[in-house]
Structures are given as C-alpha cells and as structure tokens.
Amino acid sequence: MAKRLMPLLNRVLVEKIVPPAKTHAGILLPETSNKLDSGKVLAVGPGLRDKTGNHIPVAVKEGDTVLLPEYGGTTVKLGEKEYHLYRDEDIMGTLHD
Amino acid sequence: MAKRLMPLLNRVLVEKIVPPAKTHAGILLPETSNKLDSGKVLAVGPGLRDKTGNHIPVAVKEGDTVLLPEYGGTTVKLGEKEYHLYRDEDIMGTLHD
Amino acid sequence: MAKRLMPLLNRVLVEKIVPPAKTHAGILLPETSNKLDSGKVLAVGPGLRDKTGNHIPVAVKEGDTVLLPEYGGTTVKLGEKEYHLYRDEDIMGTLHD
Amino acid sequence: MAKRLMPLLNRVLVEKIVPPAKTHAGILLPETSNKLDSGKVLAVGPGLRDKTGNHIPVAVKEGDTVLLPEYGGTTVKLGEKEYHLYRDEDIMGTLHD
Amino acid sequence: MAKRLMPLLNRVLVEKIVPPAKTHAGILLPETSNKLDSGKVLAVGPGLRDKTGNHIPVAVKEGDTVLLPEYGGTTVKLGEKEYHLYRDEDIMGTLHD
Amino acid sequence: MAKRLMPLLNRVLVEKIVPPAKTHAGILLPETSNKLDSGKVLAVGPGLRDKTGNHIPVAVKEGDTVLLPEYGGTTVKLGEKEYHLYRDEDIMGTLHD
Amino acid sequence: MAKRLMPLLNRVLVEKIVPPAKTHAGILLPETSNKLDSGKVLAVGPGLRDKTGNHIPVAVKEGDTVLLPEYGGTTVKLGEKEYHLYRDEDIMGTLHD
C-alpha cells in the first residue's frame, strides 16, 4: 500500500486540523464556531503553466497552516489516515499566530 | 487558535462597518436605507498573474473603506470576531468623506 | 457617512436623468415613451487590464450623458441620494444635442 | 431631449427599412416574405480591442444597408423616432443592388 | 429590393443543392438517403481576427460545393430566392467528384 | 453525386471497422464486448490555428486505425456508403497490432 | 484485433490496481476503505499545445503509480483486458512507497 502521495499540477495535500471541542479552561466550544476548516500543508504539486508557457508555482508551501474553503476538496485515504486534496486557487489564505 | 489571516491571490479581508441604527440626533434610520454594506480593508492578497505572466496587484489596500457587493463574500471567524473575504474584482469602489 | 464613491476597475457611477412627465407645453408624455434610461456620469474607475497587461481605459468620462441598458446596474445610496453603478461595457452610447 | 446617439464599443445604430406592403404593381406582398429585416447604418462605435490590445474596427460603416439578425438588438427612442442598436458581430451582411 | 448580400466576418452564403428525387434510371431515392445537405458557395465574408490580431481567412471559397451541418444556418430571402448563411467553422467539408 | 469529401478544419473522415460477430474459431463474441468502436482514417482536414496564429496539424493521418469515442461524430453518406466525421480532439488514440 | 493503444493528446492509458480484499494477515479490508482507485500508467499521449504553440508534455510517465479521480475516465477493452483512459489533468497525483 502506497504511503506517500505527490500531488500533480497545482494540487495541495492537506491534513485537516480538528479544533478542540473544549477550550483549555474546559468551556465547550459551540460546535459550529467556524464553518471554515483549517489544515496543515503536507505536499504541493509542481504548479501550472499559463497560456503562454510561463510557470505558475503553487501559492502555498509545505508546513503552511491554511484556511480551507467550505466546499470542494477530495478525500484521500493513505493507509488508515485521511487527507484532502485541494486546488491551490481554492485555498482562502494562510493562518498565522 | 490562529489570529491573523493572510489572504491568497486577489482576495481581500474586510471587517464590515455596521451603520448606526440612529443618526446623531436620534432619528431611527430606515433599516433598508442602503442594501450595500461597506467595510474596512484589513489585509489583501499578493494579486494574480494574467495569461501571459504579468502581475496584477489587488485594486485596494489596507485601511481603505470599500463599498461591498450585495452578494458573495465568505464569512471567516478568527477567535470571536467575524470577518469577510472577497475577491477584489467584486468590490464596487472605495468610499471617501 | 461617506459622501464620495470612487468606482473600481471599469465601473461607472451614474446619476439617472428623470425625463419630464410633461413637455414644456404641458402635454403629458406617455409613461413608456422610452424604456431606456439616460444618466449623467459622475465618476469612472481606472479601467481594466487585458490578458497581456495592456491598460484599457473606461469608454466614457465624467460629465458625459449616457444611454443606459434596460437591465443590470447596482443601486447605491450615498447619504439620501440614489446613484447607479454600471460596468462601462454595458453602457450603450453617449447622448448629444 | 438628446437628439444624437454615439454608440459605444462595437455597437451599430440602425434605422430599420420597412419593406413596401405592395409591389409597385400593387400586388400585396406576403407578410412573412422575409423574416430577416434590413436597415440603414446611422452611426458606429469606435470598435473593440482584442486580448492583446490590437484595435478591431467595426465591420460596417455609416450609410451601409445591412441584413439584420432575426433576434437581438435593443430598441432606442430618440425624440419620436425608433432606432435599433446591434453589436457589429450580430449583423449578417451588407446588401447591395 | 437588394439583390446581392456580402456576408460579414466568417459567414458563408450558400445555395442548397436539392438532390434529385429519382436517379437517372428513375428509381425513387429513399427520402432520407442523407440527412446532411450540400450546397454551392455564392459568397464568403472577409474572415475573422484571432486574439492577437492575425487575420483568419474563411476556409472555403466561392464556387466550392460543401457539406452542410444538420442544424444551424440562417435562411435569407433575396428577391424570390432562398439562400442560407453559415459560419465557416460549421461547414463540414468540401465535396469533389 | 459527389464521391469524395475533404474535411475542413480539424475534422477527420473515418470508416468504422465492424468487429467480427464470431472469432475465427466460430465462437460467438458477446455483443457488448467493447462499447468503443474503432475505424480507419480516410481523410483529415488542414488543422486549426491557435489563438496566436500558430498552425496545429491534425493528430492522426490517413490510414491510421483509431479508437473512436462512445458519443459524438456525424454520419455522412457518400453514394451508398456510410462514413463518420469526428473532430480530431475527440479521437481517443491510435490502435496498433 | 489491435493489441496496443497509443493515447492521443494528453490522454493517459491506465491499468487499475485492484486492492487486496484481505491484508496479509487475512483481515478483511472494509470494502469502501478508499473511494479513490489507483493504477499503473501503461502509455501516455504526446501532450498538448498551449494557446501560443508551446508544447505541454503529459504530467506522468509510463510505469508511474497514480491516484485516479472518483469520476471520469473511459473504459477501453483490448482483447480480454480492461483499461482506462484519463486526461492527465484529471489524475490527482503519483503514489510512492
């Protein structure tokens, strides 16, 4: 069973970050506090070519924490773990502390 | 929990300006005085590339007050605050006193 | 409350001209004499870039009297006055005496 | 009331030619002898720019007699007269004796 | 009444060839022997410009016998005769003995 | 009646290969053994031009055996024989022993 | 009966990898462990040309193990074996141990 997936074109492999159900102080977070998920970038594709052959690199890099769109993305299981593939133009932004 | 969102491509992070329910003189403003919202630009993405690789910067900048379209935009919660992400071509114009 | 709106991209801010209900001689004009509205251009956006980066200025300028399309346009209230925003490619033509 | 309309982009202002109901010899022409109308070109817009900035002039000129498409076109009233605006790519051809 | 039509852009003026109902030997041809019509090219437009201004001439010329698509085309009556206008990219091919 | 058809643009004239109902050993082949038809290329068009005027030749040549798509294609009768016209981008591949 | 298929344009010929129903230790794998199939690349087309004539090679090569999309692809039977044809931009990524 293959363990590593190298995305193609401008696809981005992401592992979703599951927000804690409770805050450190134990307060139950409202389940729908944020419809948008966030995730960690595990791997990115080589990027695209525009209409005249210029290379367009992917807009995020391995290790980035990203804000994911509400819809779209493809679920991929590698071994027992579940990951998600997005096209980079669908990723909303990068998250920073 | 991440506190800062850097938009990608030509996205614009906006905090909506909630119009006062009453004028200074206390007169109740009609609720539907203006269907269009306005907002403050908090952050902008790096922009897009056109079909032949030219860079197209975002049309607004941090600190601008902008007129928002009636529809579209994505709601984003960072901590307890609610923001909105728009593509820059959907923003109608900049507002000035 | 903002008083001035600077349109973005190829948008055009227009104040509609309300045709007189009666001619100078007092004859009641048929209400549907012309389905198309006309209006005065108050402000224009900076224009667009084509696919290879060339700048395309807006086709009309401040002060022009223009023939507006039957549909489309966005209503914008600034203070108590109502204006309309159109994309310049939707404006049919300029009117001259 | 404005008397002259200068079309924008690749629009063409046309006055329709109403075919005679009877031939010179008085024979009643079948009402649907030709679904396509023809018309006289009164004014043309400045034309368009293609994707790389080249200017594309309008394909017909003032004074041409043209064959109009069955559908499309916008009715415009200037004073008491009715005219029609077409995009030049919708005009089928020029008519010659 | 105009007698000659000069097509615009990449349009082609065609006179349909009505296949003989019977072969020379008098055998009745099955009515649906070929769903596709053929026709004679009477006139062609000046052609199109591609996105970067290159001229693209029409693919057929006056006098060609062409295989017409099953659908599309516009009927045009000039005097008492009926002709058809096609865009050149819809014409399937040229027919040769 | 025309005997030869020269396809236009990137069209390809194909004569379908009807697979034998039985193998050489007389075994009846399941009727739906392969939904995809194959055929022999009889003639190809001159090809297309891309957006900037470069010539794009047709991807197959006369004599090739090709794998045809499940849908699409236009039936053409020349004399008593039936042929099919495809756009070259719809042809799946070339078949080789 | 043809034995070899050379894909055209940016098509990719793939033989699907059927995941073992049981692990080596004999544990029955849940039937829907991964909705996405994987497969072995047998042959690739010559690639595409972009709008300005640049050649764009196919993103995968013969021998690669690839992650296939949930939908799309065309089933092709060559002899008694079943293969699948995909456009290269629909292939999600390459799989590695």
Band the pLDDT of B84: cuts 50, 70, 90. very high
Architecture, CATH, for domain E11-19+28-94? Roll (2.30)
**Chain D residue closest in CA terms to E8:** D93
- State the DSSP string of C6-58: EE-TTEEEEEEE---SB-TT-PBPPTTS-SS-EEEEEEE---EE-TTS-EE--
**Which portions of chain C are predicted below pLDDT 50?**
32
Using alpha carbons, select from E64, E75, E70 the residue that is nearest to residue E36.
E70
**Chain E residue closest in CA terms to D18:** E1
Q: Is the dihedral of CA C76, C80, C82, C83 positive or negative?
A: negative
The CATH number given to F11-19+29-94 is 2.30.33.40
Q: Of B52, B88, B95, which has the smallest distance from its Cβ to C5's Cβ? A: B95
Give dist(CA F85, CA F95) in Å, integer: 18
Q: Which fold has domain D11-17+34-94?
A: 10 Kd Chaperonin, Protein Cpn10; Chain O (2.30.33)
Question: Which of D91, D94, D97 to mutate: most E Cβ within 10 Å?
Answer: D94
Provide the CA F77 distance to its chain's centre, in angstroms: 14
Architecture, CATH, for domain A11-18+29-94? Roll (2.30)
The answer to whether the beta carbons of residues B11 and B76 sit under 8 Å apart is: no
Distances (CA, A) of B39 to A64, A95, B14, B30, G10: 28, 21, 6, 20, 46
- State the DSSP string of B33-86: S-SS-EEEEEEE---EE-TTS-EE--SS-TT-EEEPPSS--EEEEETTEEEEEE
Which residues of G are less than 8 Å from F93 in CB distance?
A: 5-8, 11, 13, 45, 85
Give dist(CA D1, CA G6) in Å, integer: 69
Which comes out higher in pLDDT, residue D1 or G45?
A: G45
Strand partners, D55: D49
Which residues of B are less than 8 Å from A33 in CB distance?
A: 77
CB contact under 8 A, A49 and G54: yes
Question: Which of B5, B10, B12, B56 to mutate: most A Cβ within 10 Å?
Answer: B5
List of chains touching F (3+ CB pairs within 8 A): E, G
Average pLDDT (F31-40) is 71
Give dist(CA E43, CA C17) in Å, integer: 47
Q: What is the model's pLDDT at position A53?
A: 84
Give dist(CA E43, CA G24) in Å, integer: 74
Give dist(CA B30, CA G54) in Å, integer: 59
Written as one letter, the residue type at B44 is: V
The tokens describing A96, both together, are 């920073």
Which residues of B are less than 8 Å from A89 in CB distance?
A: 9
Q: Of C6, C49, C74, which has the smallest distance from its Cβ to B96's Cβ? A: C6
Reply yes or no on whether the pLDDT at A2 is more than 80.
no
Which comes out higher in pLDDT, residue G25 or A37?
A: A37
**Chain F residue closest in CA terms to E89:** F9
Give dist(CA B92, CA G57) in Å, integer: 41
Which residues of A are less than 8 Å from G51 in CB distance?
A: 51-52
How high is the mean pLDDT of chain B?
A: 86
Give dist(CA G16, CA G3) in Å, integer: 18
Which residues of D are less than 8 Å from C89 in CB distance?
A: 9
CB contact under 8 A, C65 and D2: yes
pLDDT in tens, E19-76: 766 666 666 655 545 567 899 999 999 999 987 888 999 999 999 999 999 888 999 9
Distances (CA, A) of D58 to C91, E40, F6, G4, G55: 17, 29, 33, 53, 35
Q: What is the model's pLDDT at position B40?
A: 97
Average pLDDT (B81-96) is 95
DSSP E68: P
CATH class of B11-18+35-94: mainly beta
Which comes out higher in pLDDT, residue F66 or B72?
A: F66
Distances (CA, A) of F22 to F17, F29, F33: 14, 5, 11
Which residues of C are less than 8 Å from B65 in CB distance?
A: 2
CB contact under 8 A, D49 and C54: yes
Pick from E56-60, G70-74, G91-95: least confident? G70-74
Question: Which of C5, C11, C56, C75 to mutate: most B Cβ within 10 Å?
Answer: C5
Which comes out higher in pLDDT, residue C50 or B6?
A: B6
CB contact under 8 A, A93 and B53: no
Which residues of D are less than 8 Å from E3 in CB distance?
A: 96-97
G11-20+32-94 CATH, one of 2.30.33.40, 2.40.400.10, 1.10.760.10, 3.40.50.970: 2.30.33.40
DSSP C59: S
CB contact under 8 A, E93 and F53: no
* CB-based burial label for F94 (10 Å; 0-12, 13-18, 19+): buried
Contacts of E75 (CB under 8 A, 6+ apart): D35, D36, E82, E83, E84
Cβ neighbour number for residue G12 with a 10 Å cutoff: 28
CA distance F96 to chain G (A): 5
Using alpha carbons, select from C14, C63, C64, C69 the residue that is nearest to residue C37.
C69
Give dist(CA C62, CA C6) in Å, integer: 12
Average pLDDT (G75-86) is 91
Using alpha carbons, select from A51, A39, B67 the residue that is nearest to residue C75.
B67
Q: What is the model's pLDDT at position F22?
A: 62
Interface A-B, measured as beta-carbon pairs within 8 A, has a size of: 67
Give dist(CA C80, CA C67) in Å, integer: 24
pLDDT in tens, D49-88: 987 888 999 999 999 999 999 888 999 988 888 999 999 9
The answer to whether the beta carbons of residues E22 and E44 sit under 8 Å apart is: no
Provide the CA A95 distance to its chain's centre, in angstroms: 11
| CA end-to-end span of chain D | 37
DSSP F48: E
Q: Is the dihedral of CA A85, A87, A89, A90 positive or negative?
A: negative
Q: What is the model's pLDDT at position D77?
A: 87
Provide the CA E52 distance to its chain's centre, in angstroms: 28
Contacts of B26 (CB under 8 A, 6+ apart): none
Q: Of G2, G9, G50, which has the smallest distance from its Cβ to F38's Cβ? A: G2
CB contact under 8 A, D95 and E5: yes
Band the pLDDT of A58: cuts 50, 70, 90. very high
Using alpha carbons, select from G91, G94, G88, G89 the residue that is nearest to residue G7.
G88
Average pLDDT (G53-60) is 92
Q: Of G60, G69, G92, which has the smallest distance from its Cβ to A7's Cβ? A: G92
Domain map of chain G by residue range? 11-20+32-94
The CATH number given to C11-17+33-94 is 2.30.33.40
Contacts of D58 (CB under 8 A, 6+ apart): D10, D12, D44, D45, D46, D47, D88
DSSP D90: G
**Chain E residue closest in CA terms to D57:** E49
Reply yes or no on whether the pLDDT at B42 is more than 80.
yes
Provide the CA D86 distance to its chain's centre, in angstroms: 6
DSSP A28: B
Using alpha carbons, select from D60, F14, B52 the residue that is nearest to residue E9.
D60
Highest mean pLDDT among C49-58, D13-22, F6-15, F30-39: F6-15
